[in-house]
Amino acid sequence: MEEHEMKKKIIALLAVAMLTLATSAMATSLYVGTNYSNIHSVVNLGSGDQYTIEGGGSISGSSLDGRQLQYLYCVDTFNNINPGVTYPNTTINNSGQIHGIGLNNADKVAYLLTTYGTGGQTDQAIALQAAIWHEVNAPSVYKLDVAYYGSSSTIATLYNQYITAADNNHGDVTKFIWINPGNDATGSNVRYQGLVTAQNPEPSTIILLGTGILFMAVYGKRRMNKEA
């Protein structure tokens, strides 16, 4: 009887841990870091190519509920997010939703992040951010300014490689946190730029899982002692 009750407690504990992770749908606070890349871009919104500089990922020093993020990329090209600002009413999901709408080619973005995701402002991160912007927009809306960087540059080469790879592959959207920044510290209520980052286990979930493992270890030891 005692053995049966112990098993039930362990199963219940693990179930609570999994439920905690699965139902996390609100981030109380997003902090956007101050280090990001200025990416030379070509944007065409119907009136011809416009050569611009877009600020993007990976945005270093960012955190979600106080937990440092491995990386942070922009998936909403034409809305702004302010560096060095905390957004306390941010919502998150694992279904590729940005401001209540399914992100275009979210599965391709998931593939790019799974395969090439990186932090910092390296050539790889710049090329990845540009490739993400290319995928989430309609055809011909966004492309990297290859002429600025040089067609044989590392950034341009990686950018073309990433686009080709994304066009032929799909990733698991649920493995990532899709972020909708809420009101900023001043209480402004505007549409901020949507973001994406890698999944981070909740600290409480890790503790619960660890406790469950500890219970299993204690249970196993007790059985061995009884058998001895």
Token pair 């730029």 in the structure block, residue: 193
pLDDT tens profile 169-185: 999 999 999 999 987 66
pLDDT tens profile 30-48: 999 999 999 999 999 999 9
Residue ranges per domain, the chain? 1-24+202-228, 25-200
Q: What is the mean pLDDT of the chain?
A: 83
3-state helix, strand, coil in the chain (%, to 5): 40, 20, 40
- Both tokens assigned to 117: 């995701």
pLDDT tens profile 89-112: 899 999 999 989 999 999 999 999
Query: Whole-model pTM?
Result: 0.78
User: Binning pLDDT at 50, 70 and 90, where does residue 5 land?
Assistant: low
With beta carbons less than 8 A apart as the criterion, state whether 66 and 90 touch: no
User: Binning pLDDT at 50, 70 and 90, where does residue 191 land?
Assistant: confident
The strand ranges marked E within the chain are 30-31, 35-43, 50-60, 63-64, 67-68, 73-74, 86-87, 91-93, 97-98, 101-102, 142-144, 176-180, 195-198
pLDDT the model gives residue 95: 96
Rounded Cα distance between 54 and 34, Å, is: 15
The H or E element spanning position 222 is helix 203-227
CA distances from 22 to 32, 89, 202 (A): 24, 20, 10
pLDDT the model gives residue 190: 79
pLDDT tens profile 145-172: 999 999 999 999 999 999 999 999 999 9
